[in-house]
Amino acid sequence: MNKFNKLATTLGLKLDNPTQLELAFIHRSYLNENKSYKTSNERLEFLGDSILSFLTSSFLYDKFPYIPEGELTNLRSSMVKTTTLAKVALSLDLGSYLLLSRGEEEGGGRKNPSILADTFEALLGIIYLQKGLPIVKKILESRLYPLLDNILEEKAYKDAKSMFQELIQEQKRVSPVYKVLSEKGPDHVKEFTIGVFVDDILYGKGSGKSKQEGETGAAKAALEKWKQK
């Protein structure tokens, strides 16, 4: 049994030509050293990313009929982010199938979360082309969607500001206050430094090209400080 037959079996796929799955594993770096390959997996990744977003949106829409759009968006972001998809890729041992340049190989590309996540999306793309949307949906139902329980338990879908606000309101019955500490640079490249305060005590600082970005950084710093208490 060649390696792609093994992967097809693991995924529960019945393919006429499992070797076609190889297209999902051609990293762009490999093309520089192997002229017999003309295209990388990036086009498949583009297709798989769109399919993943659509099916995950549909799954969450049906599962949580009363959750507003903003929370659904945060949940979807947590489910399709690099670290989550990399976990699925690792569970399928996708790294062992990758075609990489020597440099990527030596740099640990087979365990690189970004490469693994992109490869999983590319794999979804080729499976869609070969077997259609229902089969991709089944794979997500068995491999990705079960991770939702852990995401909900850890509140990983919440942004830093929401998490810090909930924490402070629960502990102190007040809301954190964000203040601009400084602004640097001309208007078109201005950088803001924001502080988040609780009872007039500074809990964290963050910087960014917008006030929102600075507030997010401040909230993350405050959460880290709170965990160390």
pLDDT at 154 over 50: yes
95 with 205, same domain?
no
Mean local confidence (pLDDT), 137-165: 84
pLDDT at 44 over 60: yes
121 with 55, same domain?
yes
181 with 144, same domain?
no
Q: What is the pLDDT of residue 158?
A: 66
Domain extent at residue 31:
3-153
- Confidence category of residue 192, pLDDT binned at 50, 70, 90: very high
190 with 128, same domain?
no
DSSP string, 140-183: HHHHTGGGHHHHHHTTTTS-HHHHHHHHHHHHHSS--EEEEEEE
Residue 121: active-site member: yes
- Reading phi first (left if > 0) and then psi (alpha if -120 to 50, else beta), residue 155 is in left
Q: Of 153, 173, 188, which residue constitutes the final position of a domain?
A: 153
Q: What is the pLDDT of residue 1?
A: 47
134 with 175, same domain?
no
Q: Of 121, 153, 185, which residue constitutes the final position of a domain?
A: 153
Mean pLDDT highest for which of 19-23, 44-48, 108-112?
A: 44-48
53 with 19, same domain?
yes
CATH for 61? 1.10.1520.10
Contacts of 19 (CB under 8 A, 6+ apart): 2, 4
pLDDT at 79 over 80: yes
- The number of distinct structural domains making up the chain is 2
**Which amino acid belongs to residue 9?**
T
94 with 192, same domain?
no
173 with 104, same domain?
no
pLDDT at 156 over 70: no
Distances 86 to 4, 79, 110, 112, 143 between C-alpha atoms, Å: 19, 11, 11, 8, 11
CATH for 215? 3.30.160.20
Portion of the chain with pLDDT greater than 90, in percent: 49
Rounded distance, CA 47 to CA 81, Å? Answer: 16
Calculate ∠ Cα 139-159-86, nearest 5°. Answer: 30
45, 49, 104, 118: the active-site residue: 49
143 with 48, same domain?
yes
104, 118, 121, 215: the active-site residue: 121
116 with 184, same domain?
no
Residue 141: active-site member: no
Q: What is the pLDDT of residue 157?
A: 61
